[in-house]
Chain A
Amino acid sequence: MNNGEERRLNGEVEEDDEDDEETNGGLAAWERAYADERSWESLQEDESGLLRPIDNQSLHHAQYRRRLRAASTSRIQKGLIRYLYIVIDFSKAASEMDFRPSRMGVVAKHVEAFIREFFYQNPLSQVGLVSIKDGVAHILTDLGGSPESHVKAVMGKLECSGDASLQNALDLVHGYLNQIPTYGHREVLILYSALSTCDPGDIMETIQKCKKSKIRCSVIGLSAEIFICKHLCQETGGLYYIALDEPHLKDLILEHAPPPPAIAEFAIANLIKMGFPQRAAESSVAICSCHKEAKVGDGYTCPRCKARVCELPTECRICGLTLISSPHLARSYHHLFPIVPFDEVSLSLFIDQQNKLPKACFGCQQSLLGPGNKPSLCVACPKCQQLFCLDCDIYIHESLHNCPGCESTRHSKIPTANEGG
């Protein structure tokens, strides 16, 4: 349906183009919307000179396959318990308008989405927020497991001034991350708008200090590549990327949501004591320890100190026990048992055996024959050999984490007569 819309735009594009050239000087806001969208960039010319929308779906899918392959080439241990500080650069470079409405606005928006995604994927992890402003780093929120408080802190304070200081930010974060238990994976994600850093001392020393403390630092730049950021990421094993535009920035940030491969020396395996609180009875009244309010029902009781908390996962305010529920653990299991990438099935094979192979996607029952009865691209699970359409492929790997085919033939190895019914 996306294509359909773009096709409709097709005719108008050329007019828009001319409009932009005429009025490029003082654009009204609504005009700028057209200029910024650059809708003509999403067109390509085909052999006969006709303008067509770029085949986004196959492009998108190719991108996704690459990501999947990169993620699954090495089945290694993942750092599931993460302590992540997000450092946001609110120096005056963040007020640049090359991203709309401004760099900091865009960053804040995507950090919010990232925080929610992060906690969805890493229910046992914690996040803290740090801002850089006027050459100083400030803690916005302490490490914590509740997305709401972080989101509020990001969206609440959107102003920028002064210079950025990488060293101050790293020093501050280092001080906090050094205290966390050894089994946790320490990470810093820096969203850096400035092209310089204004430091009080030798930043190389700080980088070495971070390296020694096993803090994985990653930087996403919004302007251009800076040597010191690259150096920092190389030294500490993080990733360094520059965002080209807003969708790219979003992709880059969200790339940090799934747990990174764990480096064993970074975190020592340990047993962590955790509590599994029971839901409080419907009618019981208690003062919760997190909001200090009396609440009727709807809460959990810490099994060690019997304090009431409102939501899980959290840390008991009274005795410090980590409180979780079994679904939270279950939500992390798919990182440990990822499903294998599906193989792309060649079309010729599909046509040859057309009589034998099912013509519909096993997941959504959508016919795999595209418009004009031409077989469209499809994938097959290497284990159960069932065919899937591209949309299901993405859904299965990114959200469901189950192969419907394998799950439906779990016991097929048991020899039985299949003649019933």
Chain B
Amino acid sequence: MASAPSKLYADDVSLLMVLLDTNPFFWSSSSLPFSKFLSHVLTFLNSILLLNQLNQIVVLLRATIQAGGFVIKDEQLIKEGSGEGIPSSLLSGSLSMALCYIQRVFRSGPLHPQPRILCLQGSSDGPEQYVAIMNAIFSAQRSMVPIDSCYMGSNNSAFLQQASYITGGVYLKPQQPNGLLQYLTTVFATDLHSRAFLQLPKSAGVDFRASCFCHKKTIDTGYICSVCLSIFCKHHKKCSTCGSVFGQAQSESSTTNRKRKASDT
């Protein structure tokens, strides 16, 4: 892959990590058939390769059962068997893999292509992946890798909105799925350097309010457990997550227990 003759990388050479959602649950019910979607994406990927001969593309397929351990480099295509499972895709796994791969590109030397991640997602968010996805987002933010996302589903994806907002990427939900190629080429094809000169879609109000653990309501003000940072909308006597008892009067029972643990260190 580092076959570029001499490292002539300019600031507009990019490495595009494409995370492709191949969740059969979503694509069987989607208005845009998967084969059409794939042909849009392939045309888009070819156009990226045409933009600069040093551009590199890595595609990660992401099904429900197993996130793609298959990496497609440049134009060779491997299809992965996608299993059935819970109808939310493993965004966290493929994001983590993409970031590991990007770290390897960073390690390869001072001259490397500018990496960015593009999530093509259709299925809805899996709430159980929240912490893992947030970890990946912060790691991407730290290594200054923008996460672009193109969401094909019906409602907005809160995870992808946050990911793009925090990492400085672009979030887009195409109004006309049939014109996907045009959305992809106009919004996501440009390299990071050229983006500064373009008027790209702005994120319309990302909601950073938290939802409480007890009723899953979105709240303005709430109570945070000082031990495990669980969020509650009302004052409780005991934390339902970590079991700490709040307030001085009742803290004796819990402290003795934890004191013993702490003294082990």
Question: Which residue of B is nearest A271, CB measured?
Answer: B223
Q: Quick one: closest B residue to A400, CB to CB? A: B139
**Which of the residues B63, B81, B205, B220 comes within 8 Å of A303, measured between beta carbons?**
B220
B: number of interface residues (CB 8 Å): 82
Would you call B193 an interface residue if the criterion is a C-beta within 8 Å of the partner chain's C-beta atoms? no
- The one of A329, A391, A417 in contact with B224, judged by C-beta atoms closer than 8 angstroms, is A329
How far, in Å, is B23 (CB) from chain A's closest CB?
11
Main DSSP-derived SS at the A contact region: loop
Asked if B93 and A407 make an inter-chain contact with CB atoms under 8 angstroms apart, the answer reads: yes
Contact B97 A276 (CB under 8 A): no
Q: Does A265 contact B (CB under 8 A)?
A: yes
**How far in angstroms is the closest Cβ of chain A from B225?**
6
A418 adjacent to B83 (CB under 8 Å): yes
Say yes or no: is B82 at the interface (Cβ < 8 Å to chain A).
yes
Q: Is the CB of B261 within 8 A of A77?
A: yes
CA distance in complex: A403, B97 (Å): 9
A278 interface residue (CB < 8 Å to B) = yes
Nearest A residue (CB) for B218: A276
**B210: min CB distance to chain A, Å:** 4
A362 near B69 (CB under 8 angstroms)?
A: yes
Residues of chain B lying within 8 A (CB to CB) of residue A330: 130-131, 134-135, 138
Whether B248 pairs with A399 at a CB distance below 8 angstroms is: no
Quick one: given A362-B97, A404-B97, A407-B93, are A279 and B135 in contact (CB under 8 Å)? no
B83 touches A76 (CB 8 A): no
The proximity string for B residues 242-256 relative to A, scoring 1 for CB distances below 8 Å and 0 otherwise, is 001111100100110
In the complex, which of the residues A261, A417, A421 contacts B265, with contact meaning CB atoms closer than 8 Å? A261
Any B CB within 8 A of the CB of A337? yes
* Contact (Cβ within 8 A) A421 B208: no
Size range of the chain A interface in the assembly: 35 or more
A20 to B124, CA, bound (A): 66
Is B9 engaged at the interface, CB distance under 8 Å to the other chain?
A: no
Q: Which residue of B lies closest to A184 (CB)?
A: B226
- Given the known A-B contacts A364-B101, A401-B135, A416-B84, are A274 and B223 also in contact in the complex, defined by CB atoms under 8 Å? yes
Nearest to A404 among chain B residues (CB) is: B96
Instruction: Verify A412–B97 contact, CB threshold 8 A.
Output: no
- CB pair A419–B208 under 8 Å, yes or no, is no
Specify which of B84, B92, B129, B221 is in contact with A273 (CB 8 Å cutoff). B221
Asked if A365 is at the interface (CB within 8 A of a chain B CB), the reply is yes
**Is A197 among interface residues, defined by CB-CB distance under 8 A?**
no
A410 engages B134 (CB within 8 Å): no
Q: Hey, which chain B residues are within 8 Å of A182, CB to CB?
A: 248
Q: Which of B42-50, B114-122, B179-187, B228-236 contacts A (4 or more CB under 8 A)?
A: B228-236
Known A-B contacts A262-B262, A391-B107, A411-B85; A334 and B135 likewise in contact (beta carbons under 8 Å): yes
| B258 is an interface residue with CB less than 8 A from chain A | yes
Residue of B nearest to A395 (CB): B103
Instruction: Report the nearest A residue to B223, measured CB to CB.
Output: A271
Chain B, Cβ-Cβ closest to A301:
B220
B80 interface residue (CB < 8 Å to A): yes
B:75-115 near A, CB below 8 Å:
79-86, 90, 92-94, 96-97, 99-101, 103-104, 107, 109
Beyond A417-B84, A421-B82, 7 extra complex contacts between A and B, CB < 8 Å: A272-B223, A274-B224, A333-B131, A336-B229, A396-B100, A400-B135, A408-B66
What are 17 A-B contacts defined by CB distance under 8 Å?
A80-B226, A124-B229, A271-B236, A273-B222, A273-B224, A274-B223, A327-B208, A333-B131, A365-B104, A391-B103, A401-B135, A408-B94, A409-B65, A409-B67, A410-B92, A419-B83, A421-B81
Interface residues of B (CB under 8 A from A): 22, 24, 63-67, 69, 71, 79-86, 90, 92-94, 96-97, 99-101, 103-104, 107, 109, 128-132, 134-139, 142-143, 162, 166, 205-210, 219-229, 231-232, 235-236, 239, 244-248, 251, 254-255, 257-259, 261-262, 264-265
